[in-house]
Amino acid sequence: MRSLLLPLLAAGLAAGCAPHLRQPHLPPPALYSASPAPSLALPAALRTASSTGKRVLLVFGADWCSDSRAMHRRLTTDPTLAPLVTESFHLVLVDVGERHGPLWDAPVVQTYGQPFQDRGIPALVVLDPDGTQLTHRDNNPLVDSDHRRPRRLRAFLQRWAPPRPGS
């Protein structure tokens, strides 16, 4: 019995590793680079925020950054965070560009103080509907790896969510 199983197992492993059976590596879908340029998306988000009473959540990141992709996934799909984001914020993705290249939307990045300068990407910035920046380096405790800490993200979002009418 043993003499029959070993050749079958070896044949099965060899077949599983055959090049023609492997799926080609596909790059993940674009998030940041596929988003509208912040210089265009931000004015629209601010107008909408003004009419809905929400705030704008800028997420500075890049497609090449796994933490940026994870933060986006956490903000848009986590059952404890996504409803809060949808209810309180208009999300604007800001593509910071290549790892060692020029900033892709430098005016927007510089306007909001290069929030990722010290802590890396992703970086979150909250704006009031009038465009006033509410979060700055001194009052934004998040770091680039905080996508791994949903409670910390939730506390940040709750702190910066707009006040609800009647509260």
Enumerate the H helices of 78-149 as residue ranges: 82-88, 106-111
Cα separation, 156 vs 116, in Å, equals 16
In a domain, 119, yes or no: yes
pLDDT in tens, 104-120: 667 777 777 666 666 67
- Tell me whether residue 14 is in a domain: no
Is 126 a domain residue?
A: yes
Q: Please report, rounded to a whole number, the percentage of residues in the chain having pLDDT higher than 90.
A: 32
Q: For residue 111, what pLDDT is reported?
A: 79
- The pTM of this model reads 0.75
Residue 49: inside a domain, yes or no? yes
* Residue at 59 is within a domain: yes
Q: What is the pLDDT of residues 123-149, one digit of tens each?
A: 889 999 999 999 876 666 666 566 677
- Beta sheet of 89-95, edge-to-edge order: 89-95, 55-61, 123-127
Structural contact between residues 123 and 62, judged by C-beta atoms closer than 8 angstroms: no
Domain holding 104, by residue range, is: 38-160
**How many structural domains are present in the chain?**
1
Task: Give mean pLDDT, residues 77-96.
Answer: 92
Q: What Å distances lie between residue 16 and 5, 6, 19, 23, CA to CA? A: 16, 15, 9, 11
CATH code of residue 96: 3.40.30.10
